Amino acid sequence: MKIVFIGAGNLATCVSIEMQRVGMTIGQIYSRTRDHAESLARKLNCPWTTNLSEIITDADLYIFSLKDIVLPEVIPYVKPNDGLWVHTAGSVPIQVFEGHARRYGVFYPLQTFTKKRKVLLDGTPIFLEVNNPDDMKMLKKIAIALSGNAQEIDSKKRERIHLAAVFACNFANHMYVLAGRILEEQGLSYQLLLPLITETAAKIGDVSPSEAQTGPASRFDKIVMDKHLTLLPEPTIQTIYRLLSQSIYSEKMQNE
């Protein structure tokens, strides 16, 4: 099987390297940025291009790993072919390929990717959708080889999964950014928080997130919360603190 990646960002880099590791053939990399295309192609020892008209037409699978806003703009410029076209976006419907490809679908790994960090996909849910049921077998085979966890999900459910992932991953990571800033202002390292962060993530494997919730907001300790607010000089961060504290307390009251 020959696979073409259209895009060379975080997801494309990590997934293509993993695909090659488990024995799949990456036939070409496309990116509009030469450095990105060439860098990834060098790691994979495969051809690359920055010209959409030069994308090969004899591959079995075309993986569009692009920003959501860019995806609809790029698709019409890829030459029609007999391969299966899939995108990796959480919030883009499968119908984005209609009128441009005969066989198309979605290949969405529920994971966070960063080029500088190797990501092993073992156990990662990979959500699949196709317009032609005959193509599901091929996508499942690929997903199982990568993670052992392939799931058929339609676009509506995938959109909700992506929304949940934004809260669980992107928003949570931003909290790490703000927490690190609070420490760094006092000459302290954010790495002091790593054991706490590790245990917080680990314990929700044993109890529900609601049961795992601790801290001053969960017990509505107003004295501590008011003191924290005086230590936060930025109004935006104060607002985040107030909103999250209220949300935590409201959640606790609903569950009691």
> The domain spanning residue 244 has which CATH number?
1.10.1040.20
Q: Which of 64, 55, 65 is nearest to 27 (CA)?
A: 55
Domain check: are 147 and 20 in the same one? yes
Domain check: are 55 and 76 in the same one? yes
Q: What is the pLDDT of residue 254?
A: 86
Q: What is the pLDDT of residue 252?
A: 86
Total domains present in the chain? 2
Q: What is the pLDDT of residue 58?
A: 97
For 74, residues 6+ apart whose C-beta sits below 8 A from its C-beta are 6, 52, 64, 66
Q: What is the pLDDT of residue 202?
A: 95
Tell me which of 153, 187, 210 is where a domain ends. 153
Q: What is the pLDDT of residue 128?
A: 98
Domain check: are 45 and 8 in the same one? yes
Domain check: are 143 and 163 in the same one? no
Domain check: are 59 and 17 in the same one? yes
Of the chain, the end-to-end C-alpha distance in Å amounts to: 54
Tell me which of 153, 170, 197 is where a domain ends. 153
β-bridge mates for residue 49, sequence order: 30
Domain check: are 103 and 76 in the same one? yes
Q: Which of 203, 188, 205 is nearest to 123 (CA)?
A: 205
Domain check: are 96 and 190 in the same one? no
What is the extent of the structural domain holding 247? 158-255
Q: What is the pLDDT of residue 79?
A: 96
Q: What is the pLDDT of residue 233?
A: 85
Q: Which of 216, 217, 221, 215 is nearest to 243 (CA)?
A: 217
Instruction: Please give the chain's pLDDT, 256 residues, in tens.
Output: 899 999 999 999 999 999 999 999 999 999 999 999 999 999 999 999 999 999 999 999 999 999 999 999 999 999 999 999 999 999 999 999 999 999 999 999 999 999 989 888 999 999 999 999 999 999 999 999 999 999 999 999 999 999 999 999 999 999 999 999 999 999 999 999 999 999 999 999 999 999 999 999 999 999 999 999 999 989 999 999 999 999 999 998 888 7
